[in-house]
Protein backbone atom coordinates (compact mmCIF):
# COMPACT_ATOMS: atom_id res chain seq x y z
CA UNK A 1 0.00 0.00 0.00
CA UNK A 2 1.36 3.34 -1.04
CA UNK A 3 1.33 6.04 1.66
CA UNK A 4 1.16 9.06 -0.64
CA UNK A 5 -1.29 8.02 -3.33
CA UNK A 6 -2.76 10.07 -6.16
CA UNK A 7 -5.96 10.53 -4.15
CA UNK A 8 -4.03 11.98 -1.22
CA UNK A 9 -2.14 14.28 -3.57
CA UNK A 10 -5.36 15.58 -5.19
CA UNK A 11 -6.94 16.08 -1.76
CA UNK A 12 -3.94 18.13 -0.69
CA UNK A 13 -4.11 20.24 -3.88
CA UNK A 14 -7.86 20.69 -3.34
CA UNK A 15 -7.38 21.96 0.22
CA UNK A 16 -4.46 24.24 -0.69
CA UNK A 17 -6.36 25.80 -3.60
CA UNK A 18 -9.41 26.44 -1.41
CA UNK A 19 -7.32 27.99 1.36
CA UNK A 20 -5.19 30.12 -0.99
CA UNK A 21 -8.04 31.53 -3.06
CA UNK A 22 -10.21 32.04 0.03
CA UNK A 23 -7.51 34.12 1.68
CA UNK A 24 -7.11 36.17 -1.50
CA UNK A 25 -10.86 36.79 -1.86
CA UNK A 26 -11.06 37.95 1.76
CA UNK A 27 -7.98 40.20 1.44
CA UNK A 28 -9.33 42.02 -1.62
CA UNK A 29 -12.39 43.16 0.40
CA UNK A 30 -15.02 42.80 -2.26
CA UNK A 31 -18.69 43.35 -1.38
CA UNK A 32 -20.03 40.56 0.84
CA UNK A 33 -22.30 39.02 -1.80
CA UNK A 34 -19.49 38.97 -4.36
CA UNK A 35 -17.02 37.43 -1.92
CA UNK A 36 -19.54 34.80 -0.89
CA UNK A 37 -20.27 33.90 -4.50
CA UNK A 38 -16.54 33.46 -5.27
CA UNK A 39 -16.02 31.40 -2.12
CA UNK A 40 -18.95 29.09 -2.95
CA UNK A 41 -17.61 28.62 -6.48
CA UNK A 42 -14.12 27.84 -5.17
CA UNK A 43 -15.44 25.40 -2.55
CA UNK A 44 -17.63 23.53 -5.03
CA UNK A 45 -15.26 23.56 -8.02
CA UNK A 46 -11.82 24.40 -6.63
CA UNK A 47 -9.65 24.30 -9.75
CA UNK A 48 -12.26 25.78 -12.10
CA UNK A 49 -13.28 28.35 -9.46
CA UNK A 50 -9.68 29.38 -8.78
CA UNK A 51 -8.93 29.83 -12.47
CA UNK A 52 -12.20 31.76 -12.99
CA UNK A 53 -11.38 34.02 -10.03
CA UNK A 54 -7.86 34.75 -11.25
CA UNK A 55 -9.14 35.53 -14.76
CA UNK A 56 -12.38 37.36 -13.95
CA UNK A 57 -12.26 38.34 -10.28
CA UNK A 58 -9.05 40.34 -10.09
CA UNK A 59 -9.07 43.89 -11.38
CA UNK A 60 -5.63 44.68 -12.71
CA UNK A 61 -5.13 48.04 -14.35
CA UNK A 62 -2.07 48.94 -16.33
CA UNK A 63 0.16 51.74 -15.08
CA UNK A 64 -0.82 54.08 -17.93
CA UNK A 65 -4.53 53.49 -17.41
CA UNK A 66 -4.24 53.98 -13.64
CA UNK A 67 -2.29 57.24 -14.07
CA UNK A 68 -4.76 58.53 -16.66
CA UNK A 69 -7.70 57.67 -14.41
CA UNK A 70 -6.05 59.48 -11.51
CA UNK A 71 -5.55 62.68 -13.52
CA UNK A 72 -9.13 62.59 -14.79
CA UNK A 73 -10.42 62.13 -11.24
CA UNK A 74 -8.29 65.05 -9.98
CA UNK A 75 -9.62 67.33 -12.75
CA UNK A 76 -13.17 66.27 -11.97
CA UNK A 77 -12.73 67.09 -8.27
CA UNK A 78 -11.19 70.48 -9.15
CA UNK A 79 -14.17 71.29 -11.37
CA UNK A 80 -16.58 70.35 -8.60
CA UNK A 81 -14.82 72.68 -6.17
CA UNK A 82 -14.99 75.61 -8.60
CA UNK A 83 -18.09 77.83 -8.23
CA UNK A 84 -20.62 77.47 -11.00
CA UNK A 85 -20.88 80.32 -13.51
CA UNK A 86 -24.37 81.79 -13.95
CA UNK A 87 -26.21 80.93 -17.13
CA UNK A 88 -27.18 83.90 -19.33
DSSP 3-23: SS-HHHHHHHHHHHHHHHHHH
Q: What is the pTM of this model?
A: 0.58
User: Which of 8-17, 32-41, 52-61 has the weakest average pLDDT?
Assistant: 52-61
- The secondary structure of 21-38 as a DSSP string is HHHHHHHHT--HHHHHHH
- Segment 55-72 shows an average pLDDT of 80
> Looking at the predicted structure, is the pLDDT value of residue 2 above 70?
no
Tell me the average pLDDT of the chain.
Answer: 83
Sequence spans of domains, the chain: 6-81
What average pLDDT does this structure show over 61-88? 80
Q: Measuring CA to CA, how many Å separate 71 from each of 54, 59, 62, 64?
A: 28, 19, 14, 11
Amino acid sequence: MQFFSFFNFMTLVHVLVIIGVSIRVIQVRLPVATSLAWLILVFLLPLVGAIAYLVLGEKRLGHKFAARSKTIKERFIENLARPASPLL
